[in-house]
Structure 1
Amino acid sequence: MKNTIAERIQDFLKQFPPFDSLTKEELLLISGKIKVLYAEKGEYIFQQGGPCHDEFYIVREGAVGLYRGFDTDQSLIDICDAGDLFGLRIMIIKKKYRMSAKADEESIIYAIPAQVFEPLIEKNKEVNKFLLGTFAAHARNNFTETEKGQRIDNTISIEAAKDLSSLRRVSYRKKPVTCSLDDTIQHIAIKMTDKKISCIVIVNNDKHPVGIITDRDLRAKIATGLYAVTSLVGQIMVFPVVTYSKDMTVAEAQIALIKHDISHLCITKNGTQNSKLIGILSEHDLLVSFGNNPSVLIKETKRIRSLHRLRYIRKQVEKLLKLYLEQDIPTKHIIHLISEINEALIIRIIELSLKEMPAAPPVNFCFMVLGSQGRREQLLLTDQDNAIVFEDVEEEDYKATQSYFLELADKITKGLHVIGFEYCPAEMMASNPRWCMSLSKWETQFRDWVITPTEEGTLLSSIFFDFQYVYGTAAMTDRLSEIVFEGVNKSNRFLALLGVSTLQKPSPLGFFKQFLIEQNGEHKDTFDIKTRAMMVLIDAARILILYYNISGVNNTLLRYDKLAEIEPRNAALFESCSKAFRILIKFRTRQGLLHHDSGKFIKLNELSKNDKLKLKRCFRPIRDIQELLRVRFQLKNFM
């Protein structure tokens, strides 16, 4: 029976990486040198700015929080519980701590002497990679608080950090922009501006990197007046450069940037300074490679010049979406972030399409998205719905002007299709002449839909009245909003017909409370979660917002929030509708990611009993909101 402290420590350590890759003898050697620490709640193991200890730590029992900041102004970066390592700075950099480690509850901690562990790093590649990955995760993690206090990883999640222990190579920028030692600062500044880059590498005649200049150098040395713009680059360049080979891993790249306190690495043919420069890797590029930072993805989108690269960004968005769902981030937050990235992608495609046009737009115009995109609640890659409004022109110029924008729209819709947004089967896209018109013609169209509603007009208006400005002259969409509300105020019949359409949506449940499934077609025996459940909640929110003449609130969840404010007596119903919609949109998104489709049609036989019950609970507010519409707009008279 094992009874020594070292053997007990060994039994604990072998359960966790990187110790699980060590031999029994190596583990016993380490265990014999470990110190056992007890920390009371609130007690510091080390503090930010303090000297680096001669040991790193693993939590045996309890929990240790890692914090940035001092005293009352501290931000929680990560929580380490049983088996988690922290304080690895001694193994990597040996500089002062950049965060504090404090016991969040009574904890037992093992202190592992760096001197004992270092020889194992040299001989065991798996240990080395794991330590690099864990240190990188702690160094870069930056959590923000959600409305429920949950943590959102806006840079590198713990799961992503585990991926760092793989041999995944970095993705660096090839064909870096370079200059020679004979160039002036003014010349390279112009070059950097034209190329929209943040650094330039100075090379010699053999194309070996001899120095680097970044935006930071230009600000610190030129904008401050320390050097004249006519000076040669050699006077302000940073040298020697830090070089690596193209085979370096993501974890190694992160540590190199942190260790040398730099923002760029030079990639050379053999990894040395005496070798040809073949690429550049920036801190920004490294963050993008993880694909789970919304702000970085948006910034990267603005710089991209090819559709192929934009498609890569959209795929990263899908990974981000999946990660957020797994972390159970609040639905509103997910919708907002994904919508922002989608909008940035659309804007970039418009900009690239404009560059391909033979001439600049003849008049001002506005590109707007419709339907779920217009409501800013499109999470999955579903159909694209969009339109173009352009400035009024003389009648004789109309055809030529429309032709220009149809050509532009064709490029935009093709670009959206390339990155993953399918063409609309009903051709509700700006490339259709019917949805690419002058402002006055759009005004006429909207008035016709509202004042003299038809069955087709009611259907189309339910899509087109959820529009969102994306690019161009925003005042045009503002004008269309005015037309909608002017028309609604003159025609009660229009809202009534919209209400009738909502009541006529197929019911989600039958008489015996069973799911009503599709009876024929390619989706036979599946449940249409969009038409039978989500669209009723979407339509009802739209009708009531129109009823109250509230413009600028297009999102379904925000609409129900606003309605709860306006009608306190019905606040409970609106909150129930909002909750049901949040559950439904998450459920549909998970199904879509699982089956790589729109998530619209659900295979009930693949759902657990619990999932089916969750869905059924969402149907109660659907019936209640339909009843509210029936009474308020006296819909019996229209049916």
Structure 2
Amino acid sequence: MKNTIAERITDFIKLFPPFDHLPHHDLYQLAEEISVVYLDKDESLYNQGKPPKEHFYMVNQGAIRVYRHDGENSIEVEMCDEGDVLGLRPLIVQENYTLNAKAYEETIVYAIPIKIFNDKFENNNKVSKYLITRFASNSVAKFSQADNEKIFADYKRTTQTDYFSSKISLLMNSAIHCDQEATIKQAATIMSENKISSIFVINKERPIGIITNKDLLHKVATGTFGIDQNVKEIMSSPVVCASPNVSIAEGQIIMLKNKIGNVCVTKDGTPQSTLSGILTQQDIVASLSNNPAVLMKQINRARTISRLRELRQQLNQLLQRYINQHFSFTHTLTVVAELNETITEKTVEISLKELGKTPPVKFSFFSMGSQARKEQLVPTDQDNGMIFEDVPDDRLEETRSFFTGFAKIINKNLHAIGYEYCPAEMMASNPTWCLSKREWESQFKDWIFNPNEKNILLSAIFFDFNYVFGDRQLVKDMSTIVHENTKNNPRFFMFMSKDALKSPSPLGFFRQFLVDQDGVHKDQFNIKQRALMPLIDAARILTLQHDLQGINNTAERYYKLRELEPQNAEIYEACAYAFKALLKYKTKNGLMTLGEDDGKFIKLEHLSKSEKVKLRRCFKPIKSIQEVITLRFQPIL
């Protein structure tokens, strides 16, 4: 007689990797050995530092928060929900748990015995490939069958350097260095003898700078500096550092953000402590086959817009692979955002060469909206602007004309790469958004001190901006202007909160989804407008109120608010989780409809009952955060 529970488990796990292409008979035999675990809210599944259990887990219903303790801080790694696998790596490499897992809400998980799993699937090629790609591979192009056989040949060895959990101390090498009193000739001799491309400069065993082959080429070989001068004359400082205890993934993020090829490893992760070693992109590539560093390198080397278009398409493939393989969405979001930003930066650089003229004054090209918040995964339309140094009134229009002409080339090239023109012309090529520093200050003050409906709408768009290319200080000055003029400005916050509340709960009275009533998207659910934007708008207002500068990402804003307002910590954490879950769903939908829209319109008939339940669960924090906004700012609705 059939075991109905095993049948139900089989029907569920066969929908998700690594079980989605395996024979039903084998899955049923495994399902007979699987235990069902019920967890109350905040109940632990496993704990950091503890020996691994005999099972790994798959979430059936609910959500599991995965995080780690770093001193007194709790750092969230991922929120796992339906179909996500967790707790497998410690069983494979036979080490203690490096992370904590706790139920975010009432949750059901399947406990899968590792011994039975190994007995049945250890030699299964498809399972081995999944495990490798899930925890290690970051390839940027599809592999041929021959490539696959090479890359995944040594399953046991490769998983020893797990991308997300292994520490960079596992890969780092000894750092070659010289004393701060050394000459450039002495440093170059050490580099030559050791056949290395960079050398650290130290003072009492602490790194104070770094010299690379590029420094020798551009600063010494050109005659700018003599070989007998002190190394401090040409070194780059301060040094970008990391602790030996951060993961390989975190080490790579540090390199991507700083656009460098190596990171200095010190005892406590700061330049004020002892030099321990060096981690390079090559170390990571060698240990993990392929990863985003390869794509980043190709982007930085690109010389044409057509090449950048090819690389942007490869980035889409990378994103698709990460989503399909259930990579940490937090990590996916960070990696794709950094690569996407570098493509935009490179586009501006190529456009400036295409222009063939030297800008008359300092300028900065900046992004707005989802790209500025580092939330743009599937390409959307362009939102950008230009700020240039103040000039005398008689030169203002001439200078603006130069930069709008430059911006037209940038916008044209971004369009060629795959970023559509903004229908509302919120682009730097529009003279309205190509302004001097003084004009931007006047514009921001007008929006802030005259908060009518149009000005508030523009504030919501333009207050999320991020530097891309040019003089970074100009963009920093813009941010200062915004924060100085919104501080202690209750009237502005009252109007802004009214705008943020214009989209109520996405559910109607009978808990049905509120859909578009007419137009080409009739009867479809707009996940961006009805679910994501209320969370984005609320986070922006609260961030401004707390005068938090330099934090644009919506989830990161909520995590910071959680620290600042412990009394509302549960609400802010729920908002961060809901936002990432909704953005992940929009991204998956956008990848399926690539070329039609960016995934914001969802056809409800394509959703399963389980998917609808998950979406409704993400809507709950919207009501809570809107209640916080209403009570705090008292908008006149």
Which TM bucket (shorter chain)? 0.5 to 0.7
TM-score scaled by structure 2? 0.58
Q: Deviations over 1:7-51 (max 9, x none)?
A: xxxxxxxxxxxxxxxxxxxxxxxxxxxxxxxxxx9xxxxxxxxxx
Structure 1 residues 144 and 83: CA distance shift in structure 2, 3 A: closer
Deviations 1:159-191 (A, max 9, x none): xxxxxxxxxxxxxxxxxxxxxxxxxxxxxxxxx
Q: 1:291 to 1:537 in 2, by over 3 A?
A: farther
The structure 2 residue matched to 1:455, chosen from 431, 453, 456, is 453
2:633 aligned partner:
633
Q: 2:332 is matched with which residue?
A: 334
Alpha-carbon deviation of 1:328? 2.1
Distance 1:355 1:526, change over 3 A: same
Q: Distance in 1 between matches of 2:410 and 2:601?
A: 29
| 2:164 corresponding residue in structure 1 | 146
Given residue 370 of structure 2, which amino acid in structure 1 is its aligned partner? S
1:485 to 475, 483, 486: 483
Secondary structure at the aligned position of 2:364 is classed as: strand
Residues 447 and 130 (structure 1), Cα distance of their counterparts in 2 relative to 1, 3 Å cut = closer
Residue 303 in 1 paired to residue 301 in 2?
Answer: yes
In structure 2, the residue matched to 1:613 is 613
Structure 1 distance, partners of 2:339, 2:425, is 24
**Alignment partner of 1:396: what SS?**
helix
Q: Is the 8 A contact 2:93 2:160 kept in 1?
A: no
Q: What is the CA distance between 1:503 and its match in structure 2?
A: 1.1
TM-score by length of 1: 0.58
Say if 1:443 and 1:529 are closer, same or farther in 2 by CA, change over 3 A: same
Residues 128, 508 of structure 1: alpha-carbon distance in 2 compared, 3 angstrom cutoff: closer
Which residue identity is paired with 1:551? Answer: Q
Say if 1:451 and 1:490, in contact at 8 Å, map to a contact too. Answer: no
Cα gap change, 1:404/1:593 in structure 2, threshold over 3 Å: closer, same or farther?
same
Counterpart-to-counterpart distance in 2, 1:317 and 1:527: 27
Contact 2:382/2:420, CA 8 A, preserved across alignment: yes
Pair 1:82-2:122 in alignment: yes
Check the 8 A contact 2:368/2:461 in 1, yes or no: yes
How many angstroms does 1:293 deviate by?
2.3
Distance 1:127 1:426, change over 3 A: closer
- For the pair 1:344 / 2:342, whether they are aligned, the reply is yes
Out of 549, 555, 558, the position equivalent to 1:557 is 555
Match of 2:312 in 1: 314
- Paired with 2:574 and 2:89, the residues of 1 have a C-alpha distance of 37
Judging changes above 3 Å, is the alpha-carbon distance between structure 1 residues 567 and 506 closer, same or farther for their aligned structure 2 residues? closer
Rg larger in structure: 1
Matched to 1:630, the amino acid is T
Are 1:291 and 1:297, in contact at CA under 8 Å, matched by a contact in 2?
no
Instruction: State how 1:166-181 maps to structure 2 within 5 Å.
Output: none
Q: Is the 8 A contact 1:63 1:82 kept in 2?
A: no
How far apart are residue 142 of structure 1 and its match?
Answer: 8.5
Aligned equivalents of 2:485, 2:608: Cα separation in 1? 47
Distance 1:359 1:563, change over 3 A: same
Q: Which one is further off, 530-539 or 477-486?
A: 477-486
Find the counterpart in structure 1 of residue 567 from structure 2: 569
- Corresponding position of 2:599: 599
Native 8 Å contact 2:506 2:530 kept in 1: yes
- How far the C-alpha of 1:132 sits from its partner, in A, is 4.1
Q: Deviations over 1:408-442 (max 9, x none)?
A: 11111111111111111111010100111100000
What is the one-letter code of the residue matched to 2:602? I
1:575: Cα distance to partner?
A: 0.4
Q: Percent identity?
A: 44
Deviation at 1:558, TM superposition (A): 0.6
Cα distance in 1 for residues equivalent to 2:598 and 2:518: 19
CA positional deviation for 1:610: 0.4
Residues 634 and 365 of structure 1, relative CA distance in 2, 3 Å threshold = same
Change (3 A) 1:129 1:520: closer
CA contact (8 A) 1:370 1:386 kept: yes
What corresponds to 1:27 in structure 2?
Answer: none
- Distance in 1 (CA, whole Å) between partners of 2:535 and 2:90 is 45
1:592 Cα deviation after fit: 0.5
Find the counterpart in structure 2 of residue 91 from structure 1: none
CA contact (8 A) 2:93 2:159 kept: no
1:511 and 2:529 are equivalent in the alignment: no
- 1:599 is paired with a residue whose SS is coil
Residue 386 of structure 2 aligns to a residue in which SS? strand
What is the match of residue 421 of structure 1?
419
Please, what is the CA RMSD of the aligned residues? Answer: 3.7
- Tell me how far apart the structure 2 counterparts of residues 607 and 355 of structure 1 sit (CA, whole Å): 48
**2-side partners of 1:480 and 1:611: how far apart?**
42
Distance 1:557 1:143, change over 3 A: farther
1:504 deviates by: 1.2
Q: Given the superposition, is the C-alpha separation of residues 511 and 309 from structure 1 closer, same or farther in structure 2, using an over 3 Å criterion?
A: same
Distance 1:63 1:332, change over 3 A: closer
Residue 499 of structure 2 aligns to a residue in which SS?
A: helix
Superposed CA offset, 1:364-412 (max 9, x none): 0011100111111111111110001000111111111111111111111
Instruction: Note the C-alpha offset of 1:548.
Output: 0.8
Q: CA deviation at 1:358?
A: 3.1
Rounded to whole Å, the distance in 1 between the matches of 2:89 and 2:491 is: 63
Partner of 1:105: none
Number of aligned positions between the proteins = 402
Counterparts of 2:379 and 2:324, CA distance in 1: 19
Native 8 Å contact 1:291 1:320 kept in 2:
no
Query: Is the contact made by 1:311 and 1:418 (CA closer than 8 Å) also made in structure 2?
Result: yes
- 1:474 deviates by 1.1
Matches for 1:531-550 after TM superposition, within 5 Å: 531-550=529-548
What is aligned with 1:255? none
**Structure 1 pair 351–142 and aligned structure 2 pair: CA distance change class (3 A):** farther
1:509 is displaced (CA, Å) by 0.8
CA–CA distance in structure 2, aligned partners of residues 511 and 616 of structure 1 = 13
Task: Please report how far the alpha carbon of residue 498 of structure 1 lies from its aligned counterpart in structure 2 after TM superposition.
Answer: 1.2
CA shift, 1:579, in A, is 0.8
- Paired AA for residue 604 in structure 2: L
Q: Quick one: which of 480, 498, 520 aligns to 2:518?
A: 520
- 1:319: Cα distance to partner? 1.1
Q: Which amino acid aligns with 2:409?
A: K
Give 1:82 deviation, angstroms: 2.1
CA distance in 2, matches of 1:130, 1:390: 50
Structure 1 distance, partners of 2:337, 2:159, is: 24
For structure 2, list consecutive stretches of 5 or more residues without a partner in the other structure. 1-51, 53-87, 95-117, 126-143, 172-196, 198-212, 222-280
Alignment partners' CA distance in 1, 2:291 and 2:155: 14
Q: Give the conservation status (yes or no) of the 8 Å contact 1:366–1:474.
A: yes
SS at the partner of 1:549? coil
Q: 1:138 to 1:346 in 2, by over 3 A?
A: farther
Deviation per CA, 1:297-342: give whole Å up to 9, x if none: 1111111111111111111111111121123223221111111001
The question of whether the paired residues in 1 share the 8 Å contact of 2:387 and 2:474 is answered with: yes
Matching residue of 1:585: 583
Residues 560 and 578, structure 1, Cα contact 8 Å, conserved in 2:
yes
- Out of 441, 444, 457, the position equivalent to 1:443 is 441
Q: Secondary structure at the match of 2:550?
A: coil
8 Å Cα contact 1:291-1:319 kept in structure 2? no
Q: Which residue of 1 aligns with 2:624?
A: 624
Task: Sort the Cα spacing of 1:546 and 1:127 in 2 relative to 1 into closer, same or farther, 3 A.
Answer: closer
8 Å CA contact 1:380–1:598 kept in 2: the answer is: yes
Cα distance, 1:579–1:322 mapped onto 2, change above 3 Å: same
Distance 1:133 1:629, change over 3 A: closer
Matched-pair contact (CA < 8 Å) for 2:505–2:622: no
- Which residue of 359, 368, 371 corresponds with 2:369? 371
SS of residue in 1 equivalent to 2:341: helix
